[in-house]
């Protein structure tokens, strides 16, 4: 999986660390981590203040190994002329060797941090659970300087990214040895993430993110022998006279994402007005040959809509079900259970709750995996960190890097992009993750429109930037 960034759970990291300790001298992994942390902090000081020597760095030190990492890093910074002060949140259990190294290098232990240029968060590590304790929470809340987190922001769950109370919000997080799920699931809390290798031997990940260049390399574009039919023909059944915008957005996204052909089944007359290249018909049966279907956005939930969905699901073609289609499936899951052709459901949190009958808890990864296994299909759970689970495959995540796509109609656009990839013959989970990546990038491009400061967008400009997003990713791949 060289084309994917793997994220490793606490148990997986602990197992890799145990194996590492059999190969290297005691204390070496912590020194490697601390050196990497100190290097990142020094670079951050230079970028923010113009220098390292003479700057002031504070340490918030807990009782675990992350506290030791912070203390050792503080000692290395002190030897470079940084004034380092440390608050020991649990003095009796502070890392002994790290504390000795800090004091030897000239660092000081204090009751409270004074004026500092930057703070290192070494409060808790991957063994920590739950929010910050009151004393630590008070100190963190009082800070108005950048925080560099050691391995993960304290107070954020390492495996689920859940935040149940006060937690650190870091400007930079220095991941030791491996990325953890928190780095994808709570990326906004982590800030910029820097990986410091410490020598871990890691297994193939069960949770991963596609590399953007891989998305660009795998995106379907016409080959020398292709024609409009061989590139994949998408069928879209979305929108209605009641909800015409949904049909326009979903069909338009399919048009923008493929060089092949898009067929539309329905009575939304706005689709042809906006996209004359689309081949339209009134019914599913009259649509003609397609390689994949998109059903749901604005399609309605009445008996006629239910019949259209049943007709599409009765085919042997890949199908994307979104929006109103999910509402129909929540009421009648047997329509899709047992289907052998590729099927992708694209719920947001509320739709997910209707499908499963339970509200999403803090462990979104476990929840999406459970639905995918139970219904034996692919599930794309929307969010800033969009999750994609398919039976027997690694779970994928696509961190949007922002929330520009959080706007009405955005999901309609995503369904059309995804349908185009399925029609081109791409695997369901890859297609879902790739569609999410292009969708997020298109939203970011639309929000910024060539300017460094973004502005709110609607789904229409998002739709208009799909081709630009694909081009950016293909350029990353060297295509």
CATH (domain of 374): 3.40.1190.20
Tell me the pLDDT tens digit for each residue of 115-128.
999 999 999 999 88
Does position 340 have pLDDT exceeding 60, yes or no?
yes
Asked if 177 and 218 sit in the same domain, the reply is no
Does position 2 have pLDDT exceeding 60, yes or no?
no
Give the contacts of 42 (CB within 8 A, at least 6 positions apart): 52, 77, 80, 82
Asked if 193 and 318 sit in the same domain, the reply is no
Binding-site entries for (6S)-NADPHX: 65-69, 125-131, 151, 246, 298, 348, 412
Domain-ending residue, one of 164, 189, 205: 205
Neighbours of 433 (CB within 10 A): 26
Asked if 287 and 382 sit in the same domain, the reply is yes
Asked if 367 and 256 sit in the same domain, the reply is yes
Does position 139 have pLDDT exceeding 60, yes or no?
yes
Asked if 225 and 241 sit in the same domain, the reply is yes
Cα distance between residue 62 and residue 71, in whole Å: 10
Residue 267 lies in domain: 212-476
Asked if 180 and 254 sit in the same domain, the reply is no
Q: Count up the domains in the chain and report the number.
A: 2
* pLDDT on residue 267: 86
Does position 291 have pLDDT exceeding 60, yes or no?
yes
Asked if 229 and 177 sit in the same domain, the reply is no
Question: Quick one: tokens of 458?
Answer: 């609607």
Domain-ending residue, one of 205, 229, 264: 205
Please calculate the CA angle 39-30-48 and round it to the nearest 5 degrees: 20
Binding-site entries: 65-69, 121, 125-131, 151, 154, 246, 298, 348, 382-386, 411-412
Q: Are the beta carbons of 346 and 322 closer than 8 angstroms?
A: yes
Q: Are strands 233-237 and 192-196 parallel, antiparallel or unpaired?
A: unpaired
Domain-ending residue, one of 180, 205, 230: 205
Asked if 115 and 95 sit in the same domain, the reply is yes
* pLDDT on residue 450: 82
Cα distance between residue 77 and residue 43, in whole Å: 11
Cα distance between residue 341 and residue 239, in whole Å: 24
% of residues, the chain, pLDDT over 90: 94
DSSP state, residue 132: P
Binding-site entries for K(+): 66, 121, 154
Q: Are the beta carbons of 333 and 326 closer than 8 angstroms?
A: no
- Which H or E run includes 350? helix 349-356
Neighbours of 128 (CB within 10 A): 21
Asked if 162 and 246 sit in the same domain, the reply is no
**35 alpha carbon, distance to own chain's centre:** 28
Asked if 193 and 279 sit in the same domain, the reply is no
Does position 1 have pLDDT exceeding 70, yes or no?
no
Tell me the pLDDT tens digit for each residue of 100-115.
999 999 999 999 999 9
* pLDDT on residue 356: 97
Asked if 189 and 315 sit in the same domain, the reply is no
Long-range contacts of 93-100 (CB under 8 A, 24+ apart): 93/63, 94/61, 94/63, 94/67, 95/61, 95/63, 95/65, 95/67, 95/68, 95/71, 97/27, 97/68, 97/72, 98/30, 98/34, 98/67, 98/68, 98/69, 98/70, 98/71, 98/72, 99/71
pTM: 0.95
For the chain, give the mean pLDDT.
96
- Lowest average pLDDT, out of 54-63, 261-270, 317-326, 385-394, goes to 261-270
Tell me the pLDDT tens digit for each residue of 57-87.
999 999 989 999 999 999 999 999 999 999 9
Binding-site entries for AMP: 382-386, 411
What CATH number does the domain containing 171 carry? Answer: 3.40.50.10260
Asked if 161 and 218 sit in the same domain, the reply is no
Question: Quick one: tokens of 167?
Answer: 């937690």
Average pLDDT rounded to a whole number, residues 14-28: 95
């Amino acid at each position: 999986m060289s084309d994917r960034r793997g994220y490793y759970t606490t148990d997986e990291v602990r197992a890799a660390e145990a194996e590492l300790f059999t190969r290297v001298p005691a204390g070496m992994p912590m020194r490697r981590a601390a050196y990497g942390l100190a290097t990142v902090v020094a670079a951050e000081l230079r970028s923010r203040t113009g220098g390292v020597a003479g700057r002031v760095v504070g340490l918030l030190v807990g009782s675990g190994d992350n506290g030791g990492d912070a203390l050792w890093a503080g000692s290395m910074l002190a030897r470079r002329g940084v004034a380092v002060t440390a608050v020991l949140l649990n003095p009796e259990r502070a890392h002994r060797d790290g504390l000795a190294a800090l004091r030897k290098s000239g660092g000081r232990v204090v009751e409270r941090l004074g004026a500092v240029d930057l703070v290192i968060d070494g409060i808790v590590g991957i063994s920590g659970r739950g929010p910050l304790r009151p004393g630590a929470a008070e100190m963190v809340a009082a800070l108005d300087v950048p925080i560099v987190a050691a391995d993960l922001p304290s107070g954020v769950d390492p495996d689920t990214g859940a935040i149940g109370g006060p937690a650190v919000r870091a400007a930079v997080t220095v991941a030791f040895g491996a990325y953890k799920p928190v780095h994808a699931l709570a990326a906004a809390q982590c800030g910029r993430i820097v990986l410091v290798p410490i020598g871990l031997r890691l297994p193939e990940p069960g949770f991963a993110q596609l590399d953007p260049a891989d998305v660009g390399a795998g995106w379907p574009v016409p080959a020398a022998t292709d024609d409009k039919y061989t590139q994949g023909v998408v069928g879209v059944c979305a929108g209605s006279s009641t909800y015409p915008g949904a049909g326009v957005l979903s069909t338009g996204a399919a048009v923008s994402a493929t060089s092949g052909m898009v067929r539309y089944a329905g009575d939304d007359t706005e689709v042809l007005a906006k996209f004359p290249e689309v081949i339209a018909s009134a019914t599913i049966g009259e649509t003609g040959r397609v390689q994949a279907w998109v059903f749901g956005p604005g399609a309605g939930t009445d008996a006629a809509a239910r019949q259209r969905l049943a007709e599409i699901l009765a085919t042997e073609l890949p199908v994307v079900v979104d929006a109103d289609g999910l509402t129909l499936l929540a009421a009648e899951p047997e329509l899709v259970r047992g289907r052998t052709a590729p099927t992708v459901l694209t719920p947001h949190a509320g739709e997910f709750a209707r499908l499963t009958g339970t509200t999403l808890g803090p462990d979104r990864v476990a929840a999406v995996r459970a639905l995918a296994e139970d219904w034996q299909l692919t599930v794309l759970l929307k969010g800033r960190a969009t999750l994609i689970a398919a039976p027997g495959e690694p779970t994928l995540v696509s961190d949007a890097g922002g929330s520009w796509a959080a706007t009405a109609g955005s999901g309609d656009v995503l369904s059309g992009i995804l349908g185009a990839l399925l029609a081109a013959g791409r695997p369901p989970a890859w297609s879902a993750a790739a569609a999410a990546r292009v969708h997020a990038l298109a939203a970011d491009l639309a929000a910024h429109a060539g300017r460094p400061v973004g502005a709110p967008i609607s789904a229409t400009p998002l739709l208009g930037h799909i081709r630009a997003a694909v081009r950016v990713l293909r350029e990353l791949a060297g295509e």
